[in-house]
Amino acid sequence: MIFKKYPKNWHVEKGHPLTEMDKKILSFQNKGHLVPSRKLIKTPEQIEGIRKSGVVNTGVLDLVAREIHAGMSTAEIDKLVYDYTVSHGAIPAPLNYEGFPKSCCTSINEVVCHGIPNEEEILEEGDIINVDVSTILDGYFSDASRMFVIGKTSPEKQKLVDVAKECLEIGMQAAKPYCFVGDIGNAIQKHAHKNGFSVVRDLCGHGVGLEFHEEPDVEHYGKKGTGMLLVPGMVFTIEPMINMGTWQVFIDEEDEWTVVTEDELPSAQWEHTFVMTEHGVEILTY
């Protein structure tokens, strides 16, 4: 048997009295589990800042929901996102992030994620599209995405969209204080497979709040009891990418961003930013 050795992330200053939370985290660390570092535990002030960022982020997606329609270009969606975000004193986090050229990601049908908005890409009746927006407000980051069905789509695509949303909800229910990231992935994977779909393995959710991407990686498949311990004060996304066919994907060689299903069958994704509390997760991107 091979034991994975994790760094001792949780330290208590000498002479500092142990809190109940310290004791719980140290007990897991002493058993060999991966625990968060203190920097991943957000203060109440930081959580409030992320919450306010999430309000703007939600407003962006609400606007897209009102305006999206067949015949619209994905560049028009991007303009809506940019204009709303900056008019509310915020910054679109994707814009110029590691060279990404737009303010949001628009991923249609077989595009899993990171689709780049452009003038030539026109929404058609029956398309399913994920619009992924991330917001920086006063230095705090939030991140969420929704699926939109353009007009009426096929029963197979509609089921994919619905099951992907159910996977997010089931992952949320599996996220409990002092449980593990792997519990989330295990619950999502079971539900996707039960419905005949697969779960993308090459991309995952992530910590968020003070930076765009923080620890931990939140994979949407796996085994219960594995991965990082979930502790009150942690802020992270759950964003399962569910495919109609194979879970395998490739990155478009031309733009080096767009992620597409290997078999070019449709994919669907929903995402929220959550804060872990003593009683479970709270959504920060309603």
- Give 162-194 pLDDT, tens digit per residue: 999 999 999 999 999 999 999 999 999 999 999
- CA-based torsion, 33, 174, 231, 271: positive or negative: positive
Residue 286 confidence (pLDDT) = 87
Q: Assess if residue 12 is contained within a domain.
A: no
- Per DSSP, 196 falls in state T
Does residue 145 belong to any structural domain of this protein? yes
Does residue 121 lie within any of the structural domains?
yes
pLDDT band at 1 (very low <50, low <70, confident <90, very high): very low
CATH of the domain at 130: 3.90.230.10
List phi, psi (to 5°) of 149.
-100, 125
- The domain in which residue 226 lies consists of 23-283
Nearby residues of 195 by Cβ (< 8 Å), 6 or more positions away: 159, 163
pLDDT in tens, 200-209: 999 999 999 9
Specify the residue for token string 């619009």: 131
Residue 51 lies in a domain: yes
Task: Count the domains in the chain.
Answer: 1
Residue 60 pLDDT level (bands cut at 50, 70, 90): very high
pLDDT at 3 over 60: no
For residue range 231-271, list pLDDT tens digits in order: 999 999 999 999 999 999 999 999 999 999 999 999 999 99
Report residue 271: phi and psi, to 5°.
-150, 140
For the stretch 87-113, pLDDT in tens is 999 999 999 999 999 999 999 999 999
